[in-house]
Structure 1
Amino acid sequence: MFGTTLLDRRSKPERIADQAWQHLVSSVSSAGDSVRDTARSARRGGSGLADDATDLVGTAAEEARRRATLAFDALAGRRPALPWTLLISAALVGAALGWAAGTAARAAGSRGRDADEIEFVDVDRPNSPVGLDG
């Protein structure tokens, strides 16, 4: 009795999202069971094919669960979480590239300054025989 009162007080979108979630879970579960049964029968036929099928079933089931969870969250009105690891790694890669570009620019600038710094010296030759000091 206590559980039914709580379920009745939920809003209509929450009840619809819950029903959709239950439907998704049962669909994924039945699909996973049928694929596992197929994989088991394939395993009897050949071990190499069965191993590949089992790997495929595992990845397909994980993908189905992930998509079902995303669908439930979308129906419930929740936004997906930010991919923090991707954002942090992109920031670190950007910082490393910036540092490398800055270092390369400073190195190129210092090499360019060394080549351009030719010092001209004025030499006074008081009694030059050629008369160049004129």
Structure 2
Amino acid sequence: MHATIYHNPRCGTSRNTLALIRHAGIEPEVIEYLKDTPTREQLAALIRDAGIGVRDAIRAKEAKYTELGLDDPSLSDDALLDAMLAEPILINRPFVRTDRGVRLSRPSEAVLDILPPLPAPFTKEDGGVVAPK
């Protein structure tokens, strides 16, 4: 199975998701999206294919979110996409694409929907255990 993760190594959720993918026996393509920002088309496709809205794909907890006035509910999806592309830290993470679909893996266990079954329990950085389904 092929997998791609849009990863931020400074994010615990992203690190746990990457480790879960590897625990499932897959060595994914790792794209550090802060260095290698997806194109507008790629980002829009990830959001669409994950079945979420653009506002769900933006990190409202980032300081830039408020600084740029992105909390304005009248902003269009295009304006939000523009902001995420200009400031990639605003892209929620991690997005994962496999042959089985796309997920915004928050929490990290959401990636299990698009992976083969885990071979054994997995222990996250915080000590939480993810059991095979």
Same fold? TM cut 0.5: no
TM-score, normalised by the number of residues in structure 2 = 0.20
The structure with higher relative contact order (CA 8 Å, sep 6+) is 2
Q: Which has the higher helix share?
A: 1
